[in-house]
């Protein structure tokens, strides 16, 4: 299984930490001004893929100082540049006011459907990313609802979810060839795609992969079941991307040391993970700490999958590997306990030998066997 590391918070990182994380992560995301870390990560692990953070949807006024944009930006277009030359790129609400992200001061929502904005965004990002030696671009805020940052209020240009989604698909499609030609992979933040049927595949059609920032476990108790939005919708994100040769990053949220959400999320990830999917779990008490937590199970080798996952009871799923088995009970309530017979002796997460597992709703098991 594979893991990734989002170094979003920009805290100082020692060379020793960089070497450790490079060796055990498949993907790392850095801020644009952290390009000096790229050669250090590559020296420790030439195979690690390093992405740069860039917001698709906003420009940041806090990165405009005395009329000049910072040299390295978290966005593709500078606020100063847009303010002076392209004020039409700023999205407006129905009353003609610019949209500032709710809860994020200095983040101004831009018109992703404007082809001039699309071209400028791509050109700026490609130039800075290739110069720093990044392997790819992590595109934050590929949004689905038109009121994503302004509840109940949509941009005048995009008054419906469908209109906004068409704008994003236009941006991703129109810039795709430029990123491919530059040799840069693209992964976008597609958080809450599960709420918009077909949206995950429609966006990733023009990307190298997708990231689900809130995947399956939202805190210690709020665990997504098969009902109402559907456990299978989020697992299908991985399965669809694997089938199309695309990257998937999934990020569950819970408090460190909470076994139930950890095993539920990890077993669910393993239901569909192949060569390109990766998982990283967020500690609720630490936020986006550095680095994201590492779990002993990440080092387990379950061997090759025997096939896709299958249903073994109502909303209970199993996937077999040459050296193990994973089981998930995706029923809504913890009281819906189901026993699954394994067919042979396995070792559970604590090393005890078992021939069956009993799982409450929204729980999972990762089991190993000799091979």
List, in sequence order, every residue forming a beta bridge with 252; answer none if it has no partner: none
Query: What is the pLDDT averaged over residues 96-118?
Result: 96
Give pLDDT, residue 58: 98
pLDDT averaged over every residue in the chain: 96
pLDDT for 105: 95
Question: Span 295-322, mean pLDDT?
Answer: 96
The stretch 199-219 carries a mean pLDDT of 97
Q: Where are the beta strands (DSSP E) in 62-129?
A: 64-65, 68-69, 107-109
Answer whether residue 172 shows pLDDT above 80: yes
pLDDT at 8: 85
Comparison of pLDDT for 333 and 106, the residue scoring more: 106
The per-residue pLDDT for 359 is: 97
| 12 within 8 A of 31, measured Cβ to Cβ | no
Q: How far apart are CA 216 and CA 317, in angstroms?
A: 15
d(CA 55, CA 52) in angstroms, rounded, equals 10
16: tokens are: 């020793």
pLDDT at 292: 87
Q: What is the pLDDT of residue 209?
A: 98
Per the model's pLDDT, the better-predicted residue between 9 and 302 turns out to be 302
Q: What is the mean pLDDT of residues 262-282?
A: 97
Residue 141 to residue 94: CA distance in whole angstroms: 22
- Both tokens of 120, joined, read 């400028």
Res 261: pLDDT: 97
**How does pLDDT run across 120-131, given as a tens digit for each residue?**
999 999 999 999
- Cβ-in-10-Å burial (0-12, 13-18, 19+) of 147 comes to middle
Task: Count CA atoms closer than 13 A to 110's CA, side-chain side.
Answer: 31
Arithmetic mean of pLDDT, 117-122: 98
pLDDT band at 245 (very low <50, low <70, confident <90, very high): very high
Q: What is the pLDDT of residue 336?
A: 81
Residue 289 has pLDDT above 80, yes or no: no
Query: What is the arithmetic mean of pLDDT over 35-42?
Result: 98
Contact 242, 274 (CB under 8 A): yes
DSSP 316-358: EEEEEETTEEEEEE--SSTT--EEEEEEEEEE-TTS-EEEEEE
Q: What are phi and psi of 103, to 5 degrees?
A: 85, 0
Superfamily of domain 4-213: Glycosidases (3.20.20.80)
Mean pLDDT of 202-223: 97
pLDDT score, position 11: 86
Going by C-alpha positions, the residue among 258, 347, 324, 327 that lies closest to residue 295 is 258
Is the pLDDT at 228 greater than 80? The verdict is: no
* pTM of the model as a whole: 0.97
pLDDT value at 287 more than 80: no
Q: What is the mean pLDDT of residues 324-342?
A: 92
Average pLDDT over residues 266-292: 90
Residue 95 in this model has a pLDDT that exceeds 80: yes
Q: What is the pLDDT of residue 79?
A: 98
What pLDDT is recorded for position 146? 97
The closest alpha carbon to 210, from 130, 120, 276, belongs to 276
* Cβ count near 67 (within 10 Å): 8
Average pLDDT of the segment spanning 290-309? 94
**The pLDDT of residue 97:** 96
Residue 370 banded pLDDT, cuts 50, 70, 90: very high
């Amino acid at each position: 299984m594979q893991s990734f590391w989002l170094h979003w918070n920009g805290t100082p990182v020692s060379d020793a930490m960089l070497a450790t994380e490079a060796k055990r992560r498949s993907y790392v995301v850095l801020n644009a001004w952290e390009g000096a870390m790229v050669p250090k990560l590559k020296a420790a692990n030439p195979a690690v893929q390093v992405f740069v953070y860039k917001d698709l949807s906003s420009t940041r006024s806090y990165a405009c100082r005395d009329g000049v944009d910072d040299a390295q930006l978290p966005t593709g277009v500078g606020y100063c540049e847009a303010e002076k030359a392209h004020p039409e790129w700023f999205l407006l609400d129905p009353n003609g006011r610019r949209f500032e992200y709710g809860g994020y001061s200095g983040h101004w929502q831009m018109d992703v459907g404007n082809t001039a904005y699309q071209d400028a965004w791509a050109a700026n990002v490609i130039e800075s990313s290739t110069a720093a030696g990044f392997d790819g671009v992590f595109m934050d805020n590929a949004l689905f609802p038109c009121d994503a940052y302004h509840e109940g209020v949509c941009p005048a240009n995009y008054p419906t979810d469908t209109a906004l989604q068409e704008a994003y698909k236009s941006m991703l499609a129109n810039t795709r060839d430029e990123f491919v030609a530059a040799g840069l992979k693209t992964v976008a933040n597609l958080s809450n795609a599960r709420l918009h049927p077909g949206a995950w595949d429609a966006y990733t059609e023009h990307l190298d992969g997708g990231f689900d920032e809130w995947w399956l476990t939202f805190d210690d108790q709020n665990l997504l079941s098969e009902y109402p939005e559907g456990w299978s919708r989020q697992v299908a994100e991985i399965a669809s991307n694997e089938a199309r040769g695309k990257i998937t990053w999934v990020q569950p949220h819970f408090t460190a040391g909470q076994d139930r959400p950890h095993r539920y999320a990890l077993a669910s990830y393993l239901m569909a993970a192949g060569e390109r999917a990766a998982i990283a779990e967020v500690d609720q008490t630490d936020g986006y700490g550095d680095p994201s937590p590492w779990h002993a199970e990440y080092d387990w080798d379950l061997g090759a999958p025997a096939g896709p996952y299958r249903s073994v009871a109502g909303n209970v799923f199993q996937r077999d590997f040459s050296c193990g088995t994973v089981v998930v009970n995706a029923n809504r309530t913890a009281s819906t306990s189901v026993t699954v017979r394994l067919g042979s002796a396995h070792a559970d997460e604590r090393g005890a030998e078992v021939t069956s597992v009993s799982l409450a709703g929204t729980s999972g098991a990762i089991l190993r066997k000799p091979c």
